[in-house]
Amino acid sequence: MSVVSGARGTATPDTFPRLLLQHAAVRPDAPALREKYLGIWQSWTWRQTATEVREMAMGLASLGFRRGDNLAIIGDNRPRLYMAFAAAQSLGGVAVPMYQDAVAAEMTFVLENATIQFAIVEDQEQVDKLLEARETLPQIGHIIYEDPRGLRNYDAPGLISLEQLRELGRKFDAANAGRFDQEVAQGKADDVSVMLYTSGTTGKPKGVCQSHRAFITAAQGGVEFDRLSADDNVLSYLPMAWVGDHLFSYAQALVAGFTVNCPESADTVMTDLREIGPTYYFAPPRIFESVLTSLSIRMEDASRLKQRMYDYFMRVARKFGADILDGRPVPLTGRLLYGLGNLLVYGPLKNTLGMSRIRIAYTAGAAIGPDLFRFYRSIGINLKQLYGSTETCAYVCLQPDGEIKFDSVGKAAPGVEVKIADNGEVLVRGAMVLKEYYKRPDATAESIDDAGYFHTGDAGVFDADGHLKIIDRAKDVGHLSTGEMFAPNYIENKLKFFSHIKEAVCFGHQRDHVVAFINIDLTAVGNWAERRNLVYSGYIDLAGKDEVYALIKDCVEKVNAELATEGELSHSQIQRFLVLHKELDPDDDELTRTRKVRRGFIAEKYAPLLDALYSDKTVQHIETQVKFEDGRTGSIAADVKIGDARRLPMSDKAAA
């Protein structure tokens, strides 16, 4: 047994159903779950939760749900769907949450792969999808729905409401006294507790089997690391099928005993956030970004006095906020000014955003811009980053309080061993690593090596303080002809953090230096040009302006300055760049539908430009085929200029 640093007390239950029963005994009347229903927040205490879980479990047992069976759970975040996880696990079954917005055809693969016979779903929408899927998958024998609206006239075999299930459960329980406790007692820590399907951007989705031990270890580590307690509150609004929600809203809630709050509907999350005022919060970068954008827009409409106050105190916040949050020394005047700002600006602002009580906020999943990150930290929101994946229970690295860097994902979390393979890939070992991919021994063998390390597929480096920095997908990482590592995505992300740059494509694999194609952001650069009375007729014209080249050159050189401080990556500084004459477009196959650059295709399509970047030319003529929105094709020709950027010598000055 891999014992994790102090994470396992002597009497800590080692399965989720046993954790639930422990909370029901220790804090029976404390709220476990909350949901806003008919405009009023309704609570379930731990005792009520345990009772309902017991009824649901016994109901499932009466219908023939057996040890090892899989239970599909589909719907928005609802208290009773969270209970369904525990109900399946009480019987030694496996919860299989599925994305609620998938269409029937997409669900069919998972339903078939996981041989789903039982499903607990939210409403008519999901029932319809399952009934459709059942036409090809007759094994789906039992569909249990929570919300009966619109379902009264349905007459499908095996379709019952959750109320009916609980009624069956109560009868079964009365007739089989002791069965529930016996089932819970039979559960083992190494049983698979949940199966989360990976999104499948590469091939078919794979079911990631995680044991009770894996998630409880990950949850305990996180709970101790951030000192979470039963007094904390979390708002659960991200899909239940996503590993992050399972860790925060299920595993950690059951380990620490804190309260999980479910929003009234997907559209009311912002209002609910304000009403609940969670102490612990998770959001992907895009949510933090959209909050800041709407805030900026509203500030522009505010009165002059408010605007000036906001601008002034945000400057104060930028100067002192992060240091105060991290407990670093700050001059007394700074503290006083910040305190005043807190009274007048930051406090009311956080209150409006529903972030007044946040003690810890996490973001992950994509690169977060430094400005965005600094904004939230400067107004006193302890926003941190973490690193993990479905295969590692979303628990590999966490940023410790007071040691926050926007470009790292923190230190290895308690109980996790992280090392970097020779090819730069991040390897992870610990109890939180997946047991296996469901029915895919080939994929399991491929990603877990003999020493027990899980191969993440991400390339990373440790910096001087032992913080892990994820730089790229391992398969994208190349090497310069001089042998140094070259991580195109990492550099492209740095470039894209500038509002003037929309897309960037870097080349350098097996070359002696790095070059870049840049797409300017027409709105941002257009705005910038207008303010300077710079006349332009369209994208091509604007992209070719010398002033724009100077602007982009400035951005590129700032990136170079950052890279110069990053050890081996300092060799990846950009030597030459050009501003592309057309916007990269998924319609022209230059980007994927999820807007990832297709580097190989672009290199081929724009071969003359790439060659010019690696020569002494200062301008190159190019003709390009384009597809218009109506399907016609045409060609655009341009003389593209090539810019040189200044490279800096390698330095060891740490980036702020």
Partner 1 sequence: MSEARKIGDVILKVDNISLRFGGVKALTDISFDVREHEIRAIIGPNGAGKSSMLNVINGVYTPQEGTITFHGQQRRDMDTHEAAEHGIARTFQNIALFTGMTVLDNIMTGRNLKIKASFVEQALWIGRARREEMENRRVVEEIIDFLQLQSVRKTPVARLPYGIKKRVELARALAAEPSMLLLDEPMAGMNVEEKQDMCRFVLDTNEQFGTTIVLIEHDMGVVMDISDRVVVLDYGKKIGDGTPDEVRNNPEVIKAYLGAH
Positions that interact with partner 1 (CB under 8 A): 37-40, 149-150, 152-153, 264-265, 267-268, 271
Return the number of the residue (274 or 582) whose C-beta is nearest partner 1.
274
384, β-bridge pairs: 362
CB of 185 to partner 1, least distance (A): 40
Return the number of the residue (267 or 546) whose C-beta is nearest partner 1.
267
Return the number of the residue (97 or 263) whose C-beta is nearest partner 1.
263
Return the number of the residue (1 or 297) whose C-beta is nearest partner 1.
297
Q: Give the residue from 14, 75, 11, 87 showing the smallest Cα distance to 50.
A: 87
Helix (H, G, I), strand (E, B) or coil at 28: coil
Return the number of the residue (264 or 547) whose C-beta is nearest partner 1.
264
- What CA–CA distance (Å, rounded) separates 145 from 78? 12
Cα three-residue angle 118-263-42, rounded to 5 degrees: 85
CB of 169 to partner 1, least distance (A): 24
142, β-bridge pairs: 118
Return the number of the residue (149 or 593) whose C-beta is nearest partner 1.
149
CB of 42 to partner 1, least distance (A): 12
Distance between alpha carbon 499 and the CA centroid of its chain, in Å? Answer: 22
Q: Give the residue from 225, 244, 242 showing the smallest Cα distance to 234.
A: 244
CB of 155 to partner 1, least distance (A): 13
Cα three-residue angle 345-348-349, rounded to 5 degrees: 75
Return the number of the residue (149 or 304) whose C-beta is nearest partner 1.
149
Which run of H or of E encompasses 164? helix 162-175
- What CA–CA distance (Å, rounded) separates 13 from 22? 8
- What CA–CA distance (Å, rounded) separates 184 from 182? 5
CB 581 within 8 A of CB 636: yes
What letter represents residue 41's amino acid?
W
Helix (H, G, I), strand (E, B) or coil at 623: strand
Return the number of the residue (14 or 264) whose C-beta is nearest partner 1.
264
CB of 128 to partner 1, least distance (A): 13
Q: Give the residue from 426, 430, 420, 436 showing the smallest Cα distance to 452.
A: 430
Enumerate the H helices of 497-545 as residue ranges. Answer: 522-531, 539-543
The encoded tokens of residue 469 equal: 């920095």
Beta-strand relationship, 207-211 and 159-161: unpaired
- What CA–CA distance (Å, rounded) separates 371 from 603? 31
Give φ, ψ of 297 to 5 degrees: -65, -40
Q: Using the 8-state DSSP alphabet, how is residue 435 labeled?
A: S
- What CA–CA distance (Å, rounded) separates 252 from 247? 6
CB of 484 to partner 1, least distance (A): 52
CB of 271 to partner 1, least distance (A): 7
Return the number of the residue (68 or 150) whose C-beta is nearest partner 1.
150
Enumerate the H helices of 233-346 as residue ranges. Answer: 243-245, 252-256, 269-276, 285-300, 304-316, 322-325, 332-341
Return the number of the residue (153 or 533) whose C-beta is nearest partner 1.
153
The encoded tokens of residue 504 equal: 């960037």
CB of 215 to partner 1, least distance (A): 32
Cβ neighbours of residue 417 under 8 Å, at least 6 residues apart?
A: 428, 429, 430, 453
Q: What is the CB neighbour count within 10 angstroms for residue 286? A: 12
CB of 151 to partner 1, least distance (A): 10
- What CA–CA distance (Å, rounded) separates 37 from 44? 12
CB of 39 to partner 1, least distance (A): 4
CB of 237 to partner 1, least distance (A): 13
CB of 106 to partner 1, least distance (A): 22
Return the number of the residue (275 or 463) whose C-beta is nearest partner 1.
275
CB of 267 to partner 1, least distance (A): 4
Return the number of the residue (38 or 305) whose C-beta is nearest partner 1.
38
Q: Using the 8-state DSSP alphabet, how is residue 543 labeled?
A: H
CB of 38 to partner 1, least distance (A): 4
Return the number of the residue (117 or 236) whose C-beta is nearest partner 1.
236
CB 84 within 8 A of CB 120: yes
- What CA–CA distance (Å, rounded) separates 88 from 392? 22
Return the number of the residue (36 or 502) whose C-beta is nearest partner 1.
36
CB of 152 to partner 1, least distance (A): 7
Rounded to 10°, the helix 179-186/162-175 angle is 100
Return the number of the residue (36 or 571) whose C-beta is nearest partner 1.
36
Q: What is the CB neighbour count within 10 angstroms for residue 528? A: 18
